[in-house]
């Protein structure tokens, strides 16, 4: 996670319903595929593949209104 993690989402009936873009290590990435969605006690999480062919986990922290972004590997 970097200090400038930011996520842009589609928000329909709920906030942060579907991530579309995010910043990781000062690089703007486009979400190409939503691989998995789940909810943790702190908020929603998404596993996505991005335009750099890597897999990321994006987790929204509802209490602090911040995102955690981390890479988890390359796409299969």
Q: What is the pLDDT of residue 74?
A: 76
Q: What is the pLDDT of residue 1?
A: 41
> pTM value?
0.85
Measured distance CA(56)–CA(6) in Å, rounded: 13
pLDDT tens digits along 9-51: 877 777 778 899 999 999 999 999 999 999 999 999 999 999 9
3-state class of 13 per DSSP?
coil
Angle at 75 between CA 69 and CA 76, to 5 degrees: 145
């Amino acid at each position: 996670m970097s200090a400038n993690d930011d996520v842009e989402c589609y928000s329909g009936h709920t906030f942060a319903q579907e991530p579309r873009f995010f910043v990781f290590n000062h690089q703007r990435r486009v979400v190409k595929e939503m691989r998995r969605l789940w909810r943790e006690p702190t908020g929603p999480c998404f596993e996505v593949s991005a335009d750099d062919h890597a897999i990321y986990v994006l987790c929204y922290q509802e209490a602090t209104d911040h995102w955690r972004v981390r890479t988890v590997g390359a796409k299969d």
